[in-house]
Chains A and B, each alone.
Chain A
């Protein structure tokens, strides 16, 4: 059975390394860390052999820091510029993950991302499908909600 989680880990690791010079590590276990304050949810739909969506959850401070690293400019609020830049980063990660899935003969496409700023959700659909990643600028959650397309 195809591992649906690993391509997202690999893609996130590569994008963080190349674009941000940051290393990521998978947190042990399936516990979801406490995120304080607001979080930025970027959701991206998947169509093709698999259907569903991927939710990326970034703490507010981490989102601002990512865009600061990219631009070299201090970011103080989650405005249209920051939302667009972080959505594009997610777009790139997800596109790379689709390439990873394709190498396992799973063909999918991504849909345009949507973004929402909210308090951290208390529950996740299936903790086994949630990648909890640690970086030096904060934790990142990737909730992979994919199912095989019905024949």
Chain B
């Protein structure tokens, strides 16, 4: 299981969205890494990308609103990191549309997504929780 309790920030809305992201990515990886023929996996790949395009944008927006509400001092840099990742995902989507959903490219996307998501939630987002903790504010 990809999700670990230590990723919990203590902010219910954000934690729920993170858990949803982890569940969707894990289910995507299970299909992608299965021994099924590629033709059978492609539908799940397309479905995950559609989900990611919409849900990640919503999650980033909600998280950024929360950061502003809490006066998180690194909010601008955090928003930049979100924007950079969104651009990378869009870059992959464009490649898929241009070159087709070729397995090596999709595997490459999945590896990047896995490591990026874990680092972002385990390290970068924890700074929000640290800030809220310091304020002593009830989340």
Contact = CB atoms under 8 A, between A and B. Distances in A.
Do chains A and B interact in one complex?
yes
Interface of B: 1-2, 26, 29-30, 32-33, 103-105, 107-112, 114-116, 118-119, 122-123, 126
A34 interface: no
B120 to A, nearest CB: 9
Interface stretch (A45-53, A85-93, A121-129): A85-93
A71 B2 contact: yes
A80 B32 CA distance: 12
A103 interface: no
Interface of A: 14-15, 18-19, 67, 70-73, 79-89, 92
Given A19-B115, A19-B123, A73 B109 contact: no
Contact of A81 (B1, B111, B119): B111
Given A72-B2, A72-B26, A88 B115 contact: yes
A69 to B, nearest CB: 10
B110 A84 contact: yes
Contacts, number: 71
B122 A19 contact: yes
Given A71-B29, A80-B108, A85 B123 contact: no
B118 A14 contact: no
A106 B2 CA distance: 36
Contacts of B111: 67, 80-88
A81 B105 CA distance: 9
A71 B114 contact: yes
11 contacts: A19-B118, A67-B114, A70-B115, A80-B103, A80-B107, A81-B33, A81-B107, A84-B112, A87-B111, A89-B115, A89-B119
Contact of A14 (B1, B2, B108, B123): B123
Contacts of A92: 115-116, 119
B1 A84 contact: no
B107 A18 contact: no
B116 A88 contact: yes
Contacts of A19: 115, 118-119, 122-123
